[in-house]
Amino acid sequence: MKFKKIFNDQRVVLTLLTIALFIFFGLRNSAFFNVDFVIYPLLRDGATLTVIGLAQLCVLSIGHLNLAVGRMAAVSALVAGASYQYWGLTLVQGAILGVLAGALLGAITGWIIVKSQVNAFIVTLAMDFALLGLVTFIYVTFTGATAAFTTKPAGMDYWRSKSLADFCLGPICGPKALPMMLVPAIFCLILVSFMFSKTRLGRELLSTGSNLRAAKLSGIPVENRVMTAHIFSGTLAGIGGLMLAYTNGSFTAAIGSQVMLPSFLGPVLGGTLLAGGAVAVLGTFIGTMMTLVIRQGLSVQGIGLETLNIALGLVLLLALSVGQIQKMFTSIKLRGKK
Amino acid sequence: MSNQLLISKVSKAFPGVQALNEVNLNLTSGTVHALLGENGAGKSTLIKIITGVYLADSGSLKVEGVEKSFHNPIESTHSGIAVVHQERNLIPEFSVEENITLHNPPLKLGIIDRKERTRLAKQALETLGFEIDLTERVKNLSVAQMQLVEIAKALVTNAKIILLDEPTASITGSETSKLFDVIKRLKSQGNAILFVSHKLEEVYEICDTVTVLRDGVSVLESMPLADYKQGEIVDLMVGRHLAERKAETRRVDRNATPVIELKNLQTSLGHRNISLSLYPGEVLGMYGLVGAGRSELARSILGLHAITGGEILVNGSVVKIRNFTEALHKYRIGYVTENRKEEGLFLDFPVRKNISVTILAKILQRLSVINPKKEDDIATKYVDRLGIKVVDNNQLALTLSGGNQQKVSVSKWLAAETKILIIDEPTVGVDVRTKASFHELITELANEGLSIILISSDLAEMVAVADRILVMRRYEFVGDLDNSKDYQSMSRSIMNSIQAS
Can you give the pLDDT of all 501 residues of chain B as single tens digits?
567 899 999 998 876 677 888 999 999 999 999 999 876 688 888 998 998 888 899 999 999 888 888 888 888 888 889 888 766 778 888 999 888 888 778 888 888 888 888 998 888 888 777 778 888 898 888 777 888 888 888 878 778 899 988 887 777 777 788 888 888 988 998 889 999 987 788 889 899 999 999 888 888 888 898 898 888 888 888 765 444 455 678 888 888 999 999 999 999 999 999 999 999 999 999 998 777 889 999 999 999 899 999 999 999 999 999 999 999 999 999 999 988 888 999 999 999 999 999 999 999 998 899 999 999 999 999 999 988 888 889 999 988 877 889 999 999 999 999 999 999 988 877 777 788 888 889 999 999 999 999 999 888 888 889 999 999 988 999 989 888 888 778 877 887 787 776
Q: Strands B317-319 and B307-314: what pairing?
A: antiparallel
Does 1.10.4160 match the CATH number of domain A2-337?
A: no
The answer to whether the CB atoms of B325 and A207 lie below 8 A apart is no
* Closest Cβ opposite residue A217 in set B19, B324, B361: B324
Collapsed DSSP state (helix, strand, coil) of residue B328: helix
- In angstroms, how far is the first alpha carbon of chain B from the final one? 47
Helices (H), B134-248: 143-155, 173-188, 200-206, 230-238
Taking Cα atoms as reference points, which of B219, B90, B91, B187 lies closest to residue B147?
A: B90
Collapsed DSSP state (helix, strand, coil) of residue B424: strand
How far is A216 from chain B, CA to nearest CA, in Å?
Answer: 7
How many C-beta atoms lie closer than 10 Å to residue A325's C-beta?
A: 10
Helices (H), chain A: 2-28, 40-60, 69-86, 91-116, 120-143, 156-161, 182-198, 200-210, 212-217, 222-248, 262-270, 281-300, 305-337
- Could you tell me if A299 lies within 8 Å of chain B, comparing CB atoms? no
Per residue, what are the HEC states of A306-317?
HHHHHHHHHHHH
Q: Where are the beta strands (DSSP E) in B279-430?
A: 283-287, 307-314, 317-319, 333-336, 420-424
Residue A155 pLDDT grade (very low, low, confident, very high; cuts 50, 70, 90): confident
- Could you tell me if A1 lies within 8 Å of chain B, comparing CB atoms? yes
Question: In Å, what is the CA distance from B56 to each residue of B20, B39, B72, B352?
Answer: 9, 20, 12, 35
User: B3-238: which CATH number, 3.40.50.720, 3.40.50.300, 3.30.1540.10, 2.40.50.420?
Assistant: 3.40.50.300
Pairs of residues, one from chain A and one from chain B, whose beta carbons lie less than 8 Å apart: 89
How do the domains of chain B map onto residue ranges?
3-238, 260-500
Q: Where are the beta strands (DSSP E) in B90-216?
A: 107-108, 111-112, 161-165, 192-196, 209-214
Task: Tell me, rounded to whole angstroms, the distance of Cα A31 from its chain centroid.
Answer: 28
- B-contacting residues of A 207-236, CB under 8 Å? 207, 210-211, 213-221
Taking Cα atoms as reference points, which of B163, B110, B86, B178 lies closest to residue B402?
A: B86
Question: In Å, what is the CA distance from B119 to each residue of A118, B37, B102?
Answer: 40, 39, 14
Contact B187, B193 (CB under 8 A): yes
* Closest Cβ opposite residue B14 in set A200, A218, A336: A336
- Could you tell me if A338 lies within 8 Å of chain B, comparing CB atoms? yes
For residue B298, the model assigns a pLDDT of: 94
The answer to whether the CB atoms of B342 and A201 lie below 8 A apart is no
Taking Cα atoms as reference points, which of A243, A268, A321 lies closest to residue A76?
A: A243
Give the CA dihedral A270, A274, A275, A280, nearest 10 degrees: 20
Chain B's closest residue to A208, CA to CA, is B346
The answer to whether the CB atoms of B367 and A335 lie below 8 A apart is no
Taking Cα atoms as reference points, which of B458, B449, B455 lies closest to residue B472?
A: B455
Collapsed DSSP state (helix, strand, coil) of residue B260: strand
Q: Bridge-partner residues for B318, per DSSP?
A: B313
Continuous segment of H or E residues that includes residue B18: strand B17-28
Q: Which residues of B touch A221 (CB under 8 A)?
A: 323, 325
* CATH homologous superfamily of B260-500: P-loop containing nucleotide triphosphate hydrolases (3.40.50.300)
How do the domains of chain A map onto residue ranges?
2-337
* Closest Cβ opposite residue B360 in set A200, A213, A337: A200
Tell me the whole-structure pTM to 2 decimals: 0.79
Collapsed DSSP state (helix, strand, coil) of residue B110: coil
**DSSP one-letter string for A181-249:** THHHHHHHHHHHHHHHHHBHHHHHHHHHHH-HHHHHHTT--HHHHHHHHHHHHHHHHHHHHHHHHHHHS
Per residue, what are the HEC states of A35-46?
HHHHHHHHHHHH
How many C-beta atoms lie closer than 10 Å to residue B85's C-beta?
A: 14
Q: Which residues of A touch B357 (CB under 8 A)?
A: 203, 207, 215, 218, 220
Q: pLDDT (tens digit, 9 = 90+) per residue, A217-231?
A: 999 999 999 999 999
What letter would DSSP give residue B281? T
Q: Which residues of B touch A336 (CB under 8 A)?
A: 14-15
Please tell me the distance from the alpha carbon of residue B392 to that of residue B306, in angstroms, as a whole number. 41
Q: Which residues of B touch A217 (CB under 8 A)?
A: 324, 335, 337, 343-344
Q: Bridge-partner residues for B28, per DSSP?
A: B3
Q: For the purposes of burial, counting CB atoms within 10 Å of the CB of A336, is it exposed (0-12), middle (13-18) or buried (19 or more)?
A: exposed
Q: pLDDT (tens digit, 9 = 90+) per residue, A219-271?
A: 999 999 999 999 999 999 999 999 999 998 889 988 998 899 889 989 988 88
Please tell me the distance from the alpha carbon of residue B14 to that of residue B20, in angstroms, as a whole number. 9
